[in-house]
Structure 1
Amino acid sequence: MPSPAKPRSTANRRPADPPGTAARRAALRLLDAVLRRGEPLEAALPSAARGLEGADRGLAHAIAAEALRRLPDLDALIDSATRQPLPDDAKARTALRVALVQTLALGTPPHAAIATVLPLVDGGPRKLVHGVFGALTRGGAMLPELPSLPSPVADRWRAAWGEGVATAAAAAIAAPPPLDLTLASPDALAPEGASLAADHRRLVDAAPVTQLVGYAEGNWWVQDVAASLPARLLGRGPGKVLDLCAAPGGKTMQLAAAGWDVTALEIAPSRAARLHENLARTHLPAKVVIADALDWSPAEPFDGLLLDAPCSATGIFRRHPDVLYRAHSGVVEEMAALQSRLLDRAATWVRPGGRLVYATCSLEPAEGEKQLDRFLASHPDYTLEPPAAEELPAGIEPNDSGYVRTLPGTLADVGGCDGFFVARLLRASA
């Protein structure tokens, strides 16, 4: 008779990870995707957080996003507690970022933060991570009240806008931004909040978007007040208008709600699908065309054209801190070149006497002021048309040249806004 099987030894069996470790592992993957591979944080989330749902998925995103907001200061603390600087992409450094940001910025008790991070470096420098974390937390390490911007970004913005704007940017990234809604109509049922402009609500500490009154009915959509400016400057219909690079559709919906006959052009089928979903939820009409604007041509010119051009997106750093690390000077140059091509092509699609609104959610002059100067110099049939005060939210004004530039510090007393450049151009009548 065979001998009974001996029970398997548990001496070398790896202990189970503490609850919550999976969310921290996802946060580490997110940071790696952004900092090493240059991926957008939101685009990396599905893969990095695969298998996580609900609160765990949200926690992974929150840890990674807050670490990106505080990265230079986290790294300064880490470097102060090691004999030799860890490589920027070392797993130990990233694990320490994940542990420290929880304790120093998100309120996680130190023992819980380190217990859920140490499994991320199994087979690696656990003692180093544990020792550096312990030394810093026992020593009363703190993060500065205002986060430090990455040096290349801070240098660029100081050179372009001055020290005050760089300081305002640090203040802007330190606090969660408010939630702005654009209403489909003035009488639409929507959450109570401040109104900075017509058909606008601003909410602070809001419930999840899908739980807010009026969401299911399609009465409004989420859109930063600065992002609403380009469509506001085209005014109200009737007439035919083209929204270039349209997804996810905030400006398309604004134009449709304002009575325009809207054609929305989008190159990416997946983004066009999201645009269709938003139009369906809000019950607003628009013709969606999936095509590359550099290849496509309209059958006839439009009365108005809105080009919210692809850009570095540095103006939306409050909600998307990953852009501070992805949008280096090479990206800015590449995007500016694409904008020039799109502007030159779009200029021929506006009827004489019609308007072209050019906008970017960028804080880089190459994607705004310099782009406008180049365009006007090469298109004598266009002139800059400054907006009137009543077309803009209170606290936002065109500059002396006639275009609109929002910066960190704009509307700071009521929660701020994204960084945008917006210029309205009038084509001469035939």
Structure 2
Amino acid sequence: MSDASAFPTVPGPASARRVAANLVDMVLGKGRALDDALADPRSGFRDLSDRDRAFVRRLATTTLRRRGQIDGCLRKFLTLWPKGLPREAMRLGAAELLFLDAPAHAAVGEAVNLMHPEQKKPRGLINAVLRKVAIEGQAIVAEQDVARANTPDWLWQSWVNFYGEDVARDIAMAHLQEAPLDISLKDGDPADWAETLQAEVLPTGGLRRMGGGAVESLPGFTAPEDGSGSAWWVQDVAATLPAKLLGDIAGKRVADLCAAPGGKTAQLAALGASVMAVDRSDPRLKRLKENLKRLGFKADVRTAEIEQWQPEESFDAVLLDAPCTATGTIRRHPDLPYLKDETDVAKLAELQRRLMVAAWAMLKPGGRMVYCVCSLQPEEAEYQIRHLLALPGAEIIPADAGRLHLPSEAVTHEGALRTLPSMWSGRGGMDGFFAICLQKN
């Protein structure tokens, strides 16, 4: 382990819990995205066995999902946090005791061992507090307002104000569940692939797999040597819906703006479109190209700033998946509530308005543009409708909930698509997405 890690290295290989502590510290202490922390060699994650990686990921994400409850429980026994005591050691130990059914002696002992043997005072304090959590913690958790405790104020107030408290609670509770693996098939019989992948066929035609395991090791992910391309890609069911609002795009010239990492590019290509994928980030476009190559799809990939870029000719259709706070994906990214705030919402909403103007200028008369964000914040979604309708010649093409196999409440009175993490709760939920289709008259 690098000396940049949050917890002192002791002789011998890095323990799984030490890696988990470093990951959570990189998120909460240093403001790093969890995915970036997992890829950072300083975290030690890549050095672990597959089994330990699975454990570390579960421990770190549980600690982030349940941070509010964990801190509320710890405050019962520790009103003043001593200077220099790493909170993550205590948080991870509490997460194991309260939510992962770990034996008390193991969870307490491993949390204590995150401190160097010479750190006697921190070791003693961690031991004393976590022993109390082991005895009294479950009773404390039983009295907590779970939805409210685990949702930062800025998100809670926004959701209550816009959706109402009941829906806000449903959203918050959905975020406590691990998101399933949703699969979009390139071709083949969904029923056959469902059996092969131990998955469920969704009404939308995709598959949903509830079990774990590394994605890369599942049948059909790796491209065969005959050059035909792999059989499927990963894409949340809600993320597949915006492209469907464009209608029949076979043979049409379609721009996928802000395209990386390429799930929607693959979907557009699979629907028969001639796709131009545009994004500002070369590293993210590199991943997009790798995904297209694996699948055997082709697209014209361009690196460009959407606001300044001018295509050689206009497009028949445009899909603008605008940068956003991504609060609709908290099930998959439990670190996100602690990396964003209200200032991000305002900045991104302004950027989105500039992007929609630029995207509209690329569209042929009579063509369709879909504006979408994976955000639950109305400033980035429903409140943008008036700006979209101010575009010259813009007319809303209402979404059809039945055709999309969604409940009627997934379509707003304006005709926009609005999914919530609490929808399809019996099937494992879906990401929160907003999408609206406009025709240029």
Distance 1:222 1:49 in 2: 26
5+ residue gaps, structure 1: 1-13
Q: Name the aligned partner's letter for residue 25 of structure 1.
A: R
Distance 2:37 2:72 in 1: 26
| Partner residue, 1:395 | 407
CA displacement, residues 137-194 of structure 1 (integer Å, 9 cap, x when unaligned): 1235354594532233222211111111221123212222222111113536623333
Once the two structures are superposed, the pairs formed by residues 10-25 of structure 1 within 5 Å of their partners are 22-25=15-18
* Contact in 1 for aligned 2:109/2:127 (Cα 8 Å): no
Alignment partner of 1:55 is 2:57: no
| Partner residue, 1:180 | 182
| Partner residue, 1:128 | 125
Distance 1:211 1:120 in 2: 32
Query: Compared with structure 1, are the counterparts of its residues 298 and 197 closer, same or farther at alpha carbon in structure 2 (3 Å cutoff)?
Result: farther
CA displacement, residues 220-250 of structure 1 (integer Å, 9 cap, x when unaligned): 1111110111111123311100001111111
Query: Compared with structure 1, are the counterparts of its residues 42 and 204 closer, same or farther at alpha carbon in structure 2 (3 Å cutoff)?
Result: same
Alignment partner of 1:203 is 2:205: no
Q: Name the aligned partner's letter for residue 175 of structure 2.
A: I
Distance 1:200 1:15 in 2: 45
Alignment partner of 1:106 is 2:100: yes
| Partner residue, 1:86 | 81
| Partner residue, 2:358 | 345
| Partner residue, 2:426 | 413
* Contact in 2 for aligned 1:173/1:317 (Cα 8 Å): yes
- Tell me which structure has the larger Cα radius of gyration: 1
Distance 2:344 2:337 in 1: 11
* Contact in 2 for aligned 1:186/1:198 (Cα 8 Å): no
Query: Compared with structure 1, are the counterparts of its residues 406 and 205 closer, same or farther at alpha carbon in structure 2 (3 Å cutoff)?
Result: same
Q: TM-score when scaled to structure 1?
A: 0.89
Query: Compared with structure 1, are the counterparts of its residues 340 and 366 closer, same or farther at alpha carbon in structure 2 (3 Å cutoff)?
Result: same
The number of aligned residues is 411
How far is the alpha carbon of 1:33 from its aligned partner? 2.0
5+ residue gaps, structure 2: 1-7, 224-229
Alignment partner of 1:167 is 2:169: yes
| Partner residue, 2:330 | 317
Q: Name the aligned partner's letter for residue 18 of structure 2.
A: R
Q: TM-score when scaled to structure 2?
A: 0.87
Distance 1:199 1:416 in 2: 16
Q: Name the aligned partner's letter for residue 231 of structure 1.
A: A
| Partner residue, 1:117 | 111
Of 281, 289, 292, 1:279 maps to: 292
| Partner residue, 2:274 | 261
Query: Compared with structure 1, are the counterparts of its residues 15 and 307 closer, same or farther at alpha carbon in structure 2 (3 Å cutoff)?
Result: closer
CA displacement, residues 299-336 of structure 1 (integer Å, 9 cap, x when unaligned): 10000000111100000001111111112101111111
Alignment partner of 1:157 is 2:171: no
* Contact in 1 for aligned 2:280/2:303 (Cα 8 Å): yes
Alignment partner of 1:96 is 2:90: yes
Alignment partner of 1:242 is 2:237: no
Structure 1 window deviating more from structure 2 (274-283 vs 380-389): it is 380-389
* Contact in 1 for aligned 2:73/2:133 (Cα 8 Å): yes
* Contact in 2 for aligned 1:196/1:393 (Cα 8 Å): no
* Contact in 1 for aligned 2:98/2:137 (Cα 8 Å): no
| Partner residue, 1:384 | 396
* Seq. identity, %: 38
Query: Compared with structure 1, are the counterparts of its residues 22 and 264 closer, same or farther at alpha carbon in structure 2 (3 Å cutoff)?
Result: same
| Partner residue, 2:382 | 369
CA displacement, residues 27-83 of structure 1 (integer Å, 9 cap, x when unaligned): 22222222233221101222223552333333332222110100010001110012x
How far is the alpha carbon of 1:22 from its aligned partner? 2.8
How far is the alpha carbon of 1:401 from its aligned partner? 0.9
| Partner residue, 1:214 | 220
Structure 1 window deviating more from structure 2 (391-400 vs 171-180): it is 391-400
Distance 1:385 1:91 in 2: 56
How far is the alpha carbon of 1:106 from its aligned partner? 2.0
Equivalent residue of 1:116, what SS? helix
| Partner residue, 2:4 | none
Distance 2:12 2:70 in 1: 24
